[in-house]
Structure 1
Amino acid sequence: MHAFAALLDSLIYTRGRNAKLKLIVDYLLATPDPDRGWAMAALIGDLDLPGVKPAQIRALIEARVDPVLFRMSRDYVGDTAETVALLWPAPIPAPAGAPLSISAAVDALRHLSRSDAPAVLAAMLDRLDSEERFALLKMATGALRIGVSARLAKTALAQAFGLDVDAVEEVWHGLTPPYASLFAWAEGTGEQPTAADVPVFRPFMLAHGLEDAQVDLADYAAEWKWDGIRVQIVHVAGQTRLYSRTGDDVTGSFPDVAAAFSTPGTIDGELLVKGDAQGGEAASFNALQQRLGRKTVSAKMLADYPAFVRVYDLLFDGGEDLRPLPWSERRQRLEAFVPRLDPDRFDLSQVIDAASFTELEAIRAGARDAAIEGVMLKRRDSPYVGGRRAGLWYKWKRDPLTADCVMMYAQRGSGRRSSYYSDYTFGCWTEDGELLPVGKAYSGITDEELKMLDGFVRRHTLARFGPVREVEKTMVLEIAFDSIHGSTRHKSGVAMRFPRIARIRTDKPAAEADRVETLRRLVT
């Protein structure tokens, strides 16, 4: 556990991608099985210890220290695992025994019931120092938040053993922790795992932002970029799976789509929800959110928010791998494949007919459909390759909308921002002069701007609600957002899509911020 704790501590305070990669590579090369396999599972979010819950951890620490002290400390630190790790009283004398390993901790915890897990976890915490306690608690709750994505961890594994990261991704979802067969292959002592007859996830092909790239429509095809969630649907050996862009299995949230896909193959598309029942066009992302993250979906939910997939690409036709083919050939195969699917659940994303880039720019500028996020430009001779490859695909998002809003509340961040008030709830004025919340944002500002806003919050606090402060309504923030939708959950009646702080308007009086009615007129 000590080596894993040191790894987490180093990753938290390391910002560069290459430096993080080296830390993980060095750990994997120095750590034996199965500890490194369980560590990888923790890093990528593939470790499940259902018997350990945050409420149990809070109960354990509040039985050992003053609950008020714990809550005040948690408010200041901003992270439960770190607070518990620091406050946990060291037993006197310290228990004897061999150091606790990751595999021993996982083996002890993963099959325990919720009633048995707290006592076992407490005994482990008694054996560890503060850094090791932090690592154990982070691993047990699955909330590392250390700036390491699943892709980065897999890239480190590939670098450590001289493998191709796409080959690692290709087989990952057919494996379970602690990945003994994967490490055997990596070290040359076993065969490469295979994805045959298993509906595994393949890495998505991603796009660079268009920015200043030179694009000729003779070489690139244009499609709409739809505003849902990107999914991959696989049907192999009688099994169907839906995967999100990060490789999460979302089949359970969309059983209606999975049941409708029974043609052997793998497609890439955008998961959307239909709008009105008659037209069947795509609704806004706000409608799709009603379905996201649900482990069980009621019959009413299925009827009220019918899901479908707008298909972009064909990766496998039956058992034939089409990814090495150029986009133009895959598109022809796709156009023949989609008519074989249920038309109520699948349709084809159309290519935009534009004679010139200028004409395409005008078409894009006029696109304010609720489900359109922008335009995709795909090189006609591009194969389907995982990740972002320069010069192949570009995304050209429509220009964001903006509104001047007034900060109303601020909340402490997490991780590196846990000491700052970095999450801001903001509002706009009603015609009657009432300020109503319209969104929340924490991104878009520099470290210096963060410090300035944190100082404003501390100096202008009106009331405190745990980690949240209400502030004087004098700070104006220009908020950029991709679209805005009607919402019955918010008193203002609107919900922003991807709000972020564009700039701090110290030059603008709060009374001149935008009106809620102005935002309502933008609803798509």
Structure 2
Amino acid sequence: MKAFAALLDRLSFEPRRLVKEKLVLEYLAATPDPDRGYALAALAGALTFRHAKPAILRGLISERSDPRLFELSYDFVGDLSETIALMWPIDDAGSDLNGSSDALALSDVVHQLQAAGKTDLPGLLTYWLSRLDETGRWALLKLVTGGLRIGVSARSAKVAVARLGEVDPSEVEEVWHGLEPPYQPLFDWVEGRGPKPSYSDPAPFRPAMLAHPFNFEKDGPALNVAEHQIEWKWDGIRVQAAAGRDEEGRHVARLYTRTGDDISAAFPDLLEHLAFDGALDGELLVMRDGKVAAFSDLQKRLNRKTVGAKLLREFPAALRAYDLLAEGGEDLRPLPLSERRPRLERFVGEIGSPRIDLSAVLPLTTLEELAVARSDPAAYLKGPDAEAVEGLMIKRRDTAYLTGRPKGPWYKWKREPHLIDAVLMYAQRGHGKRSSFYSDYTFGVWTQTGVGADDPSLVPVGKAYFGFTDEELKQIDRFVRANTVNRFGPVREVTQKPDGGLVLEVAFEGLNRSPRHKSGLAMRFPRISRLRWDKPASEADTLETLEALLPSGSS
């Protein structure tokens, strides 16, 4: 447990992805089984404990400290696990687990947490928390809640495992879903002690091929458009639909995100249309009467373990197919796109489902035509779907379906984002390395009667927590602390006067009506573009300006 705590501590302060992967690799190489397997599961988000809830942790610390002091401390620190780890009182037996790194094995912690009943958990956690050091307590609580927040993705953890031997990370991803912690067969394979784990799942995940952003000035001159397949980039989420029959003849179908997360349970209405033997790569969308709905509609279906009849009826899921990865047990990924595309067209036609259609290939032959289509999809895409286009996909026709993000074969050329000037209204502390800064911002625009009225008013239109540099973060944090006018728990309200507020230039991908927001609007991917110290708050945009950006037909 001590080595695992030290790893998490190092990872939480390390910003570089490659260094993080190196730290994980060194830990996996030095740590015995099964501890390293459970650590890998924690890093990959594959460990859950049924009864471990934040409410239990809050209850334990509230019994041992002044509730008001805890709330103030939590407000300052910004992270529940770190706050409890710092405030937990140590009794006379506190040295029991501190003297030896082997005193408490990570595997013992996992086994006991998995076996503990709801009434057993508080006593178990109390025993450990009272005997671990500060870093150990923090790591334990991170493990229990599952919210590591240390900047290590499941993909990075799998890359580190592959680097233990001479194994391609994509091979690790392909067998991952057939394994369970502590992954002994996986370690035996990558370290050369055993065979590649067998995985007979008829609907496996196949690692996705990703695209690089297209730079017009840098990549444009060398691009031969005739050698590429041009498609729209749709405003949904990239998914993989896999289906087939198991050894007993039962049909199995699954829907995966591009990172391999199984989201089948949230989309049973689409799953019942995967009556084929193969794997499709495509875009998950909500569609009504043949029209692609706003991304905000799709968001209502995401991150759900179950979905009710009303959501199924009002937000029907559909798949727009980009590629065919497998058919009838044949792996098509080694084939060039020029051969996969005709097979995809035939495959989708044979499915004959109203929930699965084909991503169109655009008849564009010059870079100039690409530029026009990207900036004005309606010029090429007749009908309502033009408003659901994010940009263009540019794919070499002679390229196989390659794992990861190879440079050159695929490009994505997204449309320029919308920009508005908004006023900072509220700020909240961040998490992890940002826990000492106010880094999560709510911003607003003036109502139509706001600027120049007797009682100017702002209405919130979005939240953002990225897009700024570390130096700009410090500048905003200083502004928040110096201009706080009210506090609501961990949130600070800042001055919003026309002559005294902070103007933020906000970039976002799209805008839609939303009854869940006070403004009636919802932004797609808002982020801070730059700080407008030069502009008075009175010159920020109005709600009327944003409403003019709504897609036609919004009501």
Same fold (TM over 0.5): yes
Counterpart in the other structure of 2:111: 107
Name the CA distance, whole Å, in 2 between partners of 1:210 and 1:115. Answer: 55
Counterpart in the other structure of 2:7: 7
* Paired letter, 1:447: D
**Residues 513 and 195 of structure 1, relative CA distance in 2, 3 Å threshold:** same
**1:299-338 mapped onto 2 (5 Å cutoff):** 299-338=309-348
Among candidates 156, 162, 170, match of residue 158 of structure 1: 162
1:422 Cα deviation after fit: 0.8
Deviation per CA, 1:227-260: give whole Å up to 9, x if none: 1111111112211111112211110100011111
Q: The residue matched to 2:164 in structure 1 has which SS?
A: helix
Name the CA distance, whole Å, in 1 between partners of 2:374 and 2:172. Answer: 37
**1:118-129 mapped onto 2 (5 Å cutoff):** 118-129=122-133
Name the CA distance, whole Å, in 2 between partners of 1:354 and 1:18. Answer: 39
Name the CA distance, whole Å, in 2 between partners of 1:355 and 1:218. Answer: 6
| Structure 1 residue ranges without an equivalent (≥5) | none
Is residue 260–residue 342 contact of structure 1 (8 Å, CA) maintained in 2?
no
Is residue 51–residue 111 contact of structure 1 (8 Å, CA) maintained in 2?
no
Counterpart in the other structure of 2:494: 471
Is residue 375–residue 396 contact of structure 1 (8 Å, CA) maintained in 2?
yes
Name the CA distance, whole Å, in 1 between partners of 2:542 and 2:196. Answer: 60
1:342 Cα deviation after fit: 4.1
TM-score w.r.t. length of structure 2: 0.92
Among candidates 374, 380, 404, match of residue 421 of structure 2: 404
Is residue 283–residue 370 contact of structure 1 (8 Å, CA) maintained in 2?
no
Name the CA distance, whole Å, in 1 between partners of 2:133 and 2:389. Answer: 52
1:68 Cα deviation after fit: 1.7
1:116 Cα deviation after fit: 2.2
Name the CA distance, whole Å, in 2 between partners of 1:437 and 1:49. Answer: 37
Counterpart in the other structure of 1:90: 90
Q: The residue matched to 2:197 in structure 1 has which SS?
A: coil
Q: The residue matched to 2:519 in structure 1 has which SS?
A: coil
Name the CA distance, whole Å, in 2 between partners of 1:367 and 1:374. Answer: 8
1:442 Cα deviation after fit: 1.2
Deviation per CA, 1:273-317: give whole Å up to 9, x if none: 013xxx321111011111111222111111111110000011101
Is 1:496 the equivalent of 2:523?
Answer: yes
Is residue 52–residue 118 contact of structure 1 (8 Å, CA) maintained in 2?
no
Among candidates 443, 468, 478, match of residue 455 of structure 1: 478
Among candidates 403, 427, 431, match of residue 414 of structure 1: 431
Is residue 234–residue 388 contact of structure 2 (8 Å, CA) maintained in 1?
yes
1:96 Cα deviation after fit: 4.2
Is residue 426–residue 437 contact of structure 1 (8 Å, CA) maintained in 2?
yes
Is 1:514 the equivalent of 2:541?
Answer: yes
Deviation per CA, 1:369-394: give whole Å up to 9, x if none: 33211100001111111110010100
**1:9-408 mapped onto 2 (5 Å cutoff):** 9-94=9-94, 96=96, 99-211=103-215, 212-213=218-219, 214-237=222-245, 238-275=251-288, 279-367=289-377, 369-408=386-425
Q: RMSD of the alignment, in Å?
A: 1.3
Name the CA distance, whole Å, in 2 between partners of 1:14 and 1:491. Answer: 38
**Residues 357 and 251 of structure 1, relative CA distance in 2, 3 Å threshold:** same
1:103 Cα deviation after fit: 0.4
1:331 Cα deviation after fit: 0.6
**Alignment size in residue pairs:** 521
| Structure 2 residue ranges without an equivalent (≥5) | 246-250, 379-385, 451-456
Name the CA distance, whole Å, in 2 between partners of 1:23 and 1:164. Answer: 19
1:510 Cα deviation after fit: 1.1
Is 1:428 the equivalent of 2:451?
Answer: no
Is residue 327–residue 380 contact of structure 1 (8 Å, CA) maintained in 2?
yes
* Paired letter, 2:147: A
Name the CA distance, whole Å, in 1 between partners of 2:256 and 2:479. Answer: 43
1:187 Cα deviation after fit: 2.2
1:460 Cα deviation after fit: 0.7
1:19 Cα deviation after fit: 1.6
Q: Which moved more, 1:27-36 or 1:117-126?
A: 117-126
Q: The residue matched to 2:271 in structure 1 has which SS?
A: helix
Percent of aligned positions with the same letter in both sequences? 54
Deviation per CA, 1:39-58: give whole Å up to 9, x if none: 00000101111111111011
Is residue 273–residue 308 contact of structure 1 (8 Å, CA) maintained in 2?
yes
Q: The residue matched to 1:451 in structure 2 has which SS?
A: helix
1:17 Cα deviation after fit: 2.1
Name the CA distance, whole Å, in 1 between partners of 2:431 and 2:72. Answer: 15
Name the CA distance, whole Å, in 1 between partners of 2:124 and 2:244. Answer: 41
Counterpart in the other structure of 2:453: none
1:220 Cα deviation after fit: 1.2
Q: The residue matched to 2:226 in structure 1 has which SS?
A: coil
1:127 Cα deviation after fit: 2.4
* Paired letter, 2:362: I
Deviation per CA, 1:342-392: give whole Å up to 9, x if none: 431100000111121101211111127332111000011111111100101
* Paired letter, 1:145: R
Deviation per CA, 1:60-88: give whole Å up to 9, x if none: 11111222222111111111111111111
Is residue 412–residue 418 contact of structure 1 (8 Å, CA) maintained in 2?
yes
* Paired letter, 1:153: A
Name the CA distance, whole Å, in 2 between partners of 1:198 and 1:30. Answer: 35
Deviation per CA, 1:466-510: give whole Å up to 9, x if none: 111111111111111001111111121111100011111111111
Is residue 150–residue 432 contact of structure 2 (8 Å, CA) maintained in 1?
yes
TM-score w.r.t. length of structure 1: 0.97
Name the CA distance, whole Å, in 1 between partners of 2:448 and 2:9. Answer: 51
* Paired letter, 2:286: V
Is residue 273–residue 353 contact of structure 2 (8 Å, CA) maintained in 1?
no
Is residue 273–residue 287 contact of structure 1 (8 Å, CA) maintained in 2?
yes
Is residue 174–residue 198 contact of structure 1 (8 Å, CA) maintained in 2?
no
Counterpart in the other structure of 1:486: 513
1:188 Cα deviation after fit: 2.0
